Structure 1
Amino acid sequence: MAERSVVLVLHDVAPHTWADYRPFVEAVDALGNVPITWLVVPDFHHHDDLAAQGDFRRLLDSRVAKGDELTLHGYYHCDDQPAPRTPTEWFMRRVYTHEGEFYSLSHADALDRIRAGIEVFHRNDWPLHGFVAPAWLMSAGTRQALRQLPLTYTSDPHHLYRLPDFTPVDAPGLVWSARSAWRRRVSKCISERREQRWQTTPVIRLGLHPVDMRHALSRRYWLDALQRLLDAGRTPLTKVAWLATQP
């Protein structure tokens, strides 16, 4: 059997979400050499600016030194554009999510925001390979912008996409909706079934969110799932490291 991998991804990484993630990260570190991909938001909802958080930036420095990957995850991680004008826009921006920052951005605005995020990484000497839009939602203008920038990949729930040509690479991912008890129960059931169905896939991505860490059921599931996949012989890799193994 060809080598199989597992990729552990923390979404919505910002100074205020570290308190949610810290116990989980400590538990992962206790397992041994399991690298993590951190999706970093430079200024979460316009009030959590990395520039003002020296301790948190030093924490991220230490994770890079440990072998983790930092990925640019939007810039503000909130939808601050004019109100939706169509039923489809209203559904995507008010029902599906309120955080689709790049869902309706023009090419120029998307280019400016991603460049600003790249500059944050450069100022902190953090290697940068990937960009992931909040809620994985990208306008045509955002896609056009990504074709112009020195990035290696972007992603959605099912694929990584090599840039600049958006070549898809199958990379199925597990993700929970954990904001209510019934959603957590349904998410656990779906994830367990997908784990079984994806036993032979080259990679399984585990996509965690801060809200998952606030509930014992979801928090325990992610740690147990990671352990199961490691015990099954999967090699833990970051997103960029796994992509480099693919032809």
Structure 2
Amino acid sequence: MAETGSAARSLMLVLHDIAPETWPDYQPFVEAVDKIGGVPMTWLVVPDFHHRNPLHRSPTFCRLLDRRLALGDELALHGYYHADDGAPPRSPGAFFMRRIYTHEGEFYGLDQRQALARLEQGLAVFERQAWPVAGFVAPAWLMSEGTRQALRQLPLRYTSTPQHLYRLPEFTAIEAPGLVWSARSAWRRRVSKVLCDWQCQRWRGAQTLRLGLHPVDMRHRVSRDYWLHTLQALLAEGREPLTKSAWLDRQASA
């Protein structure tokens, strides 16, 4: 496993599930971050969120993403539909991952051919919009072996899981621990806060921390405020905010 190469401490602010219908959830938070100033974000863009948000039908939203790129943010590919509509699971383990843990593990059950076609379809959307793209993050961070093989065939620089970034095509693992909430219910939000507070202490000396936000986090004041306050606290500690690509460049040049 590769070690992080830079001594400077950093953070990455990552917005998951970016689509026209999720932008109203994120907008107040993004505006608050913009007021802080100097915090680039990585936006994980879904080309057709849940089969009802094709980007080509939302030119205003695409222009918004154009502006975010001009401000120094990064766009990464985040699945294509962000919905698991594949063949039914064939084992108890697959049933748990695809029907209990999440219904959005789009790339969990795909073979190499299916994954490659879906990835190329997503990259074509980015190409039509003239958006640079270096990274792919699977919905729910769930990737089949076929997906991993497909990624090795594409001109992408990285993918990630909750605790690592992987430099492609070799899948070289680089430690990059991440904080994430499960905010769908009150008890989940309570548990998430306790867990993330503990992780912040545990990883206090980590060279980088990723903050992985989701639209549902933005719908509850406790989780939305948590992310904003955590971001401000990490900045006050002297952590430098970077996009995923910028952080990966630092590792390559160290």
1:84 CA drift (Å): 1.2
Report the Cα distance in structure 1 between the residues aligned to 2:56 and 2:134, rounded to whole angstroms: 21
Report the Cα distance in structure 2 between the residues aligned to 1:149 and 1:207, rounded to whole angstroms: 25
Q: Are 1:187 and 2:192 counterparts?
A: yes
What is the RMSD computed on CA atoms of the aligned residues? 0.9
1:18 maps to 23
Report the Cα distance in structure 2 between the residues aligned to 1:219 and 1:45, rounded to whole angstroms: 23
SS at match of 1:161: strand
2:125 maps to 120
1:51 maps to 56
1:86 CA drift (Å): 1.0
Q: Taking structure 2 as the reference length, what is the TM-score of the superposition?
A: 0.96
Cα offsets for 1:55-74 (capped at 9, x unmatched): 00000000000000000000
Report the Cα distance in structure 2 between the residues aligned to 1:191 and 1:35, rounded to whole angstroms: 22
Gaps of 5+ in 2: 1-5
Q: Are 1:217 and 2:222 counterparts?
A: yes
Percent identity over the alignment?
Answer: 66
Report the Cα distance in structure 2 between the residues aligned to 1:68 and 1:41, rounded to whole angstroms: 16
Q: What letter is aligned with 1:131?
A: F
2:140 maps to 135
1:2 CA drift (Å): 2.4
Cα offsets for 1:199-244 (capped at 9, x unmatched): 1111000000000000010000000000000000000000010011
SS at match of 2:22: helix
Report the Cα distance in structure 1 between the residues aligned to 2:11 and 2:92, rounded to whole angstroms: 38
Q: Are 1:75 and 2:75 counterparts?
A: no
1:177 CA drift (Å): 0.5
Report the Cα distance in structure 2 between the residues aligned to 1:114 and 1:62, rounded to whole angstroms: 24
1:199 maps to 204
Report the Cα distance in structure 2 between the residues aligned to 1:182 and 1:89, rounded to whole angstroms: 26
Q: Of 141, 144, 150, which residue of structure 1 is paired with 2:149?
A: 144
Q: What letter is aligned with 2:217?
A: D
Q: Are 1:34 and 2:39 counterparts?
A: yes
Cα offsets for 1:46-92 (capped at 9, x unmatched): 11000100000000000000000000000000001111111111100
Gaps of 5+ in 1: none
Q: Of 73, 84, 92, which residue of structure 1 is paired with 2:89?
A: 84
Cα offsets for 1:146-178 (capped at 9, x unmatched): 000000000000000000010000000000000
Report the Cα distance in structure 2 between the residues aligned to 1:58 and 1:128, rounded to whole angstroms: 16
Report the Cα distance in structure 1 between the residues aligned to 2:216 and 2:14, rounded to whole angstroms: 14
Report the Cα distance in structure 1 between the residues aligned to 2:87 and 2:126, rounded to whole angstroms: 28
Q: Are 1:226 and 2:231 counterparts?
A: yes
1:106 CA drift (Å): 1.1
Report the Cα distance in structure 2 between the residues aligned to 1:85 and 1:106, rounded to whole angstroms: 14
Q: Taking structure 1 as the reference length, what is the TM-score of the superposition?
A: 0.99
